[in-house]
Chain A
Amino acid sequence: MANGNEVVTVKQRTISGGSVSEADLPAGVVAPGRAEIAESPLAQAIRRLRRSTTALIGVAIVAVLLFVAIFADVLAPLSPTASDQAHTSERPSWDHPFGTDQLGRDMLSRVIYGSRISLAVGVSSVLLALFVGVPLGLIAGFYGGKIDTGVMRAMDLILAFPIYLLAIILMVIFTPTAGLIGTMKVTGAIAIVRIPIYARLVRGSVLSVKEKEYIEACRALGVRNSWILIRHILPNCLAPIIVTTTLGIATSIIVEATLSFLGLGTQPPTPSWGWDLKANIAFIQANPWLSLFPGLAIFVTVLGFNLFGDGLRDALDPRLK
């Protein structure tokens, strides 16, 4: 077995005519004399990421947001849904740092709890799209032929739609509701819209990778297709997948906020930034703070993921800088 691998390595080296990177070697083979000195691609990426101030700011924002969302129960001074009729539409004060809305609910608590919906929908919709889109792209690219045509036709159909039109109609079909179920509906609608992005991305990478000599070598060795896909092809698509996912969370959070703004996101009483912003625009003359804070929260969250994603892209693929 070891001999067989050695032969493959040598053959690969002569064919490609260049140096062999770690990723190009078949599983279990360590490039002689290089493993000890060379940094793994992951370590290199982390080192590059740590050098970028903007990326670190992004990581910090995301970390703080995760903390706020997880510990919302502890951090929020009041219940986000408890209305205090004696204190309605108040401007920011010591008791209510972000003011209160027309129902007398504490805006700070609503913004803190709103982070849960925003992050939950943003992250889970992208992950859902990833878990459906990546296998579709892998299969379409690897097997080609009719499977490829079928899958990509379906993806093109989704992409042929202006994305908001599709998301809006999907939400009308799902009928927006409050609470966890409502959140899951929004997640599903956004995920469906984002699946083709992953399918296309992965299919493209697979097409370029599958003709490489080391995949041919795997085939010659009799490696199963599923193993080739997961162990040898997927790792080559990981960098763009990670970057697309991070930046995709930012986009999904904007789409969620936009759907909420149009009244088609998670329904009240569940606190949601988009909905709060929209609900308070009617009172913008009397109390501008009320629509300012939820909007700022959306902006900071999206900025955090965008900075992090940009940093990751530069770190994972320096050629793209």
Chain B
Amino acid sequence: MRTYILRRLIEIVPTVLMITLVVFVMMRSVPGDPVVALLGDAYTEEDAVKVRHEYGLDKPILVQYTIWLGKLVQGDWGTSILSGRPVLKDVMIRLPVTLELIALSMAVALIIAIPAGIIGAVRQNTWADYTATSVAMIGVSIPEFFIGVLLLLAFSVGLGGLLPSSGWVYLPGTCPTMLCGVSVWGNVQHVLMPAFALGVGRAALLTRLLRTSMLEVVRTEYVTTARAKGLGERPIVFKHALKNALIPTVTVMGLQVGFLIGGAIVVETLFAMPGLGTFGIDAIIARDYQQVQGFALITAFAFVVINLLVDLSYTFLDPRIRYS
């Protein structure tokens, strides 16, 4: 098991390298570069050549990538050409916001999906099942930003502006600079709507999956055996069936990370949150090469690490699964 984890951790390196290399090459094939934006109205071809040389942008792409990589190994994520700020610092400032958003939206998804999926399967073809499946169908058909808009309409426009429509208040201890609003209640107010907007769609998807796999599991022989030996319905469902039924659900949750990153971009844009999503999209649109690389690096890393965690969770859900 230990060697397996070690091997997987080593495998993370080539994957992350590949993703960052592809992003590196793709960003440099985007028409226009940061120098144009940097010089703005004072743009002259001469100055541009000078500035490009200064930042090493006139070197071949692979050489530029190697330089970036060499600095990265030393803990230097580069400095944004446009803002002049170190990329690592900006990423670290924005990371807690996005982590909180994603963690809470996953919690929202699970809190809704596990009971709804179980009820749908255990009470198959009753009104409870029909309600759960219909609501889930509606849930998978609404894009995150429209759920966000509906929440805005209900809680910011309606109900006397109960929840703030944009911005962010940090949890005590997570404030990265001296100048930010810090309060637990303020944080809760700001994170509730984004977390629901991002979580509801996942909840709907997981409900459908969990219901289907529960339906399969409750028809297996070991569940019949459990019933035959006189076990109550509750331990059968929660102790025996649920764990096995969760395996496909967990797999899909891992695959959903890619969507969650996109969802974070959308939800953070809608609610104007200072997270990694808005950082990434702003950097891509501004062609801020260094910031895009930082964003690609952290997302690629999160993506592969979460997939590793998903694979490892199988051993907990089904002890027969062993890695060597």
Contact = CB atoms under 8 A, between A and B. Distances in A.
A165 B296 contact: yes
Interface stretch (A43-51, A69-77, A96-104, A154-162): A154-162
A169 to B, nearest CB: 5
B269 interface: yes
Given A165-B261, A168-B265, A298-B146, A250 B141 contact: yes
A292 B258 contact: no
A172 B285 contact: yes
Nearest to A263: B285
Interface range on chain A (Cβ under 8 Å from partner):
35 or more
A262 to B, nearest CB: 6
Contacts of A258: 143-145, 262, 266
Contacts of B156: 284
A277 B141 contact: no
Interface in A77-125: none
Most buried by B among A257, A262, A274, A284: A262
B208 to A, nearest CB: 9
Contacts of B22: 157, 161
Contact of B137 (A169, A291, A298, A303): A303
Contacts of B31: 173, 175
Most buried by A among B144, B149, B296: B149
Given A163-B262, A165-B262, A302-B143, A292 B153 contact: yes
Interface in B6-37: 15, 18-19, 22-23, 26-27, 29-31
Nearest to B265: A164
Contacts of B152: 281, 284
B142 interface: yes
B153 A288 contact: yes
B157 A168 contact: no
A295 interface: yes
Contacts of A244: none
B279 interface: no
Interface string B74-102: 00000000000000000000000000000
A65 interface: no
B190 to A, nearest CB: 17
Nearest to B266: A258
A152 interface: no
Interface of A: 54, 157, 160-165, 167-170, 172-173, 175, 250, 254, 257-258, 261-264, 274, 277-278, 281, 284-285, 288, 291-292, 295, 298-299, 302-303, 306-307, 310
Given A302-B141, A303-B141, 10 more contacts: A161-B258, A162-B259, A164-B266, A168-B281, A262-B269, A262-B281, A277-B145, A277-B149, A295-B146, A302-B143
